[in-house]
Structure formats: C-alpha cells, structure tokens
Amino acid sequence: MALDFNRTLASMIERFGKSRRPFAITVAGDKFYVITDPKHVAEIYRNEKTLSSERITRIIHNQSGMSSEAVDKLFKVNTSASHNKLHPRPLPPVGLMLESLRQHLAPSELLDRLLDNSTIPLVRQAIDLKWQDFAAPQELEDGTRVLSLKLLCIEAMVRGVVESFYGPTLWELQPDFVHWYMLWERVNWKYLFGIPGFLSKDMIQAKEVMIDLFVKYFSLPPAKRPGASAWILETEDILIEGGMSTEDLGRAMMLQTWAVLGNLYKTAFWMVSYIVYDRKLLEAIREEITPAISGDRVHHHCLNKECPRLDSLLAEVLRISVSMPLVRHITDDTVIGGSTFRKGNNVMISYHQLHLNKDAWGANADGFQADRFLNKTSLKSSLSYRPFGGGSGLCPGRQYARETTFSFIAMLLSRYDLTLATEEAGSSGGGKAHEVKKPRFPQPDYSKPVVGVTAPGEQEDITIRLTPRVLV
C-alpha cells in the first residue's frame, strides 16, 4: 500500500510551513526544500540555470530499462541533426521531442487536423457506445443504456485518443492495450517511488507489456502503420537520428504515451461527475454547447471560446484535482525568497497545497465551486494557480487536452439525457413522501503520487443512465 503522500505532505506544511517560508524534509536520503509561497514558485519557474529537471528525467528513463548510454543519447546535442535546423539554438533529442509535441498540439492547423480527422471521430465511437473493451453497457427497453462513467471515459479518452495517435495497428499488436494501460495507471506510483522489483511485480508486468507493444510497433515499416499521427512519425525520426535503438525507442514512447494519456480520462471523469450531480449545471452547459454541435460535427473552436461555464468547470476541476509535486534538482547554490538552497539537493512544489491555499482562494478553498472562475477569469492568472506547471515545463498538450475533453462532453450532453442510475431513498419523517438522495459522490485517491490529475479511488465510480435525446 502506498503511503498517503498528499496527506503526509499537507501535515508537514501545516506544521512547518504556516509562515510560507521554505522548509526542508529528507526522503530516502535526499533533501527536499518544500516551497509553499506562490511568489517563490514564480522564482523557481524563472530559474533554469541552477534548478534543473534533467536529473529526474534521467531517472524516469533509466527506470524504463534504458541503459545509461541510451539515456545519455537523449541529452546529447547534435548540431547537424535535421530537426535542429528548425530551432534558433540546437537541442538534444529530449528537447526536440518536447518541441515537436508543443508544435503539434498547440493551436494550429496541425492540431485542427488531428482533432477533426482523428481524435473527435474516435472519441465519438465511445459515445455511440460501440464498446470493445470491458463490460458492455446494459440496454433497457426504451433505448436507455446503463453503464459505468469511469469505463465510458476510459473508452473515449484512452482507447479513442491512443488510436488517434498510433492508428489501428496498435490493436492488432496488442488487443488488450487498454487493460494493461489501466493496470499501469493503478500501480505507476511504484515506478515514481522506485519501489524494488519484488514489491512491484504488477507494475513491472504492465510496463513491460506496453514497452513490448511499442517495440513491435516501431519495428514495422511506416507503410504498415496506417493512421500514425504526424507527431508520432516526427518523434520516431528524432530519436532514430539521435542514435536510439528500436528497443529504446519503444521505451521512450511508452513514457511519452503515458504523458499524453495520463490525465485525459481522469479530467473527463471529474467534469462529467460534477455535471451529473448538478442538474442546473448540466442544463446550463448543455445550452452553451448546443451551437457547437452540427449533426456529427463538433466545432471545437466554439467550445474553446464561447463556453464560459464549461471553461470555469474545467478550471475548478484542475484546481481541486491536480496533486502532483514538481521537483527540480539544485545544480548550484540558489537563493529564493531570501533562503539559500544548497547545491546537490532538490526543491519541491506541491501543486495540491498551492491550489488549496486559503490566502488565495478563501475559506472554501478545499470545496468545489463550479462557477468560481466564471465571473473572475483573472483567477487563472493567480500565482496560486498552476495546473499546467510553468516556465519551460509548461504542459505542451494543454490545448489538445482541453479541446478533446470539451468535445467529449459536448457530444455526450447533446446526444443523451444524462442521469444517475442509482438512487438512495430516505424518509423525510412525519409520514411525508420519501426524498430521493443522490449516491455518495466518488472520492479521489490522494494517497498516491500522480503525474497530474488525481484519479478516483479504485472502487469509486458512478453508474449513469444515457437516454437518447429526441431533438425537435
């Protein structure tokens, strides 16, 4: 069982960090300076000279099974590399991969093509309930389907999205990819903590199955991988030019795929959960998204720019659910907020604690408020709001994630009347009619460190009813 990571960190911050000054803790022999002041966080993002992400990036790749020599190649700058001709300063392959992802997933014609021609049609298949994995939805006589919200989000945002990047060949090589990926999602905290192999057999098995898949995938010539996205092909070219073997390419792309998929299904799950528990919110968002739906076509630019309630909901979901810590290695003595951080140690930012800072968010900072950002969009610029990180590490896929998630919700609400399938009845007393009580809201699992958005607990889910809407 994982230690309750966020609760332990919150307890330390409560004990040592009320003044918002940095304090130090030691974990597994490494010293971490914990940062809780938003102004100090901003200083860290601006400092790329003495605060480095390279050490943690090397560790993550080494743990995938790459040799030290292979990891060195990721950080070796080749000034004559063809992809470096596009950049003002030469970058190593690890930097070129990030720039490629940023280029393909930033607002552009490249992103529009990916969404319109691949991602949205594949996500729509899940919403059309063309299930291929897990338990099929139960169909009632009136056409209503009863199903797991969690599994719907997995079908749409894992199966649909991964195929939009890799094409259908992925399923020919490993039909059970979704199963193995979701096992990885449940146990990858062991990877992040570096838990010994004899205690991590489930994590190692899931990791190796996925790596084996990507090694087989990249062993095929491009002509036998129809539907591969431009980003996949470009990243493959970058790594091969950087001297990576096919096996190391498979290991690198397993990690890249984790980065792309890891937050989408969780974000969608939390957004739809809050919607289905609040009828007024559901109707307000449905009214907003209606102009963006024309038959099977989704106008994702409209969703992106003309849906303030949907936008506020996403912002609040990210505020309340992003719980990953950011870690940087100190390569030289560094002064932040008047405190000196010594070379060889690390700095840590807890986004979860930053987002629950009552000084910034008020007395209800730890409560969910769907309209928190609706009339005060400036909150997105708060120093205490960092759902996508910052500095050079700002999430390159944030726009893709936003428009994919918005499209999923818009298609779902436009096609179906959405209600909770399970209800609890309780007497109001005095012989009055029974009141309908909603089932308990699903609870997040804050006990484990995650990369981004916190997942619902393993047994936490919602059973929903989807009734096809009759549009007049």
- Binding residue positions for heme: 395
Task: Report in angstroms the alpha-carbon separations of 212 from 12, 18, 217.
Answer: 41, 48, 9
Residue 274: alpha-carbon gap to chain centroid? 18
Give the residue among 293, 309, 308, 266 at the shortest CA–CA distance from 416.
293
Report the distance separating Cα 382 and Cα 32, nearest Å.
25
Work out whether strand 424-427 and strand 434-437 pair parallel, antiparallel, or are unpaired: antiparallel
- Distances from the Cα of 160 to the Cαs of 1, 126, 154, 215, 279, in angstroms? 31, 7, 9, 21, 28
Residues annotated in a binding site: 395
- Using CA atoms, how far residue 208 sits from 68, 200, 276, 449, in Å, is 18, 12, 37, 21
Q: In whole angstroms, give the CA distance from residue 345 to residue 341.
A: 8
Asked if 336 contacts 44 with a C-beta cutoff of 8 angstroms, the reply is: yes
Supply 460's token pair. Answer: 């936490």
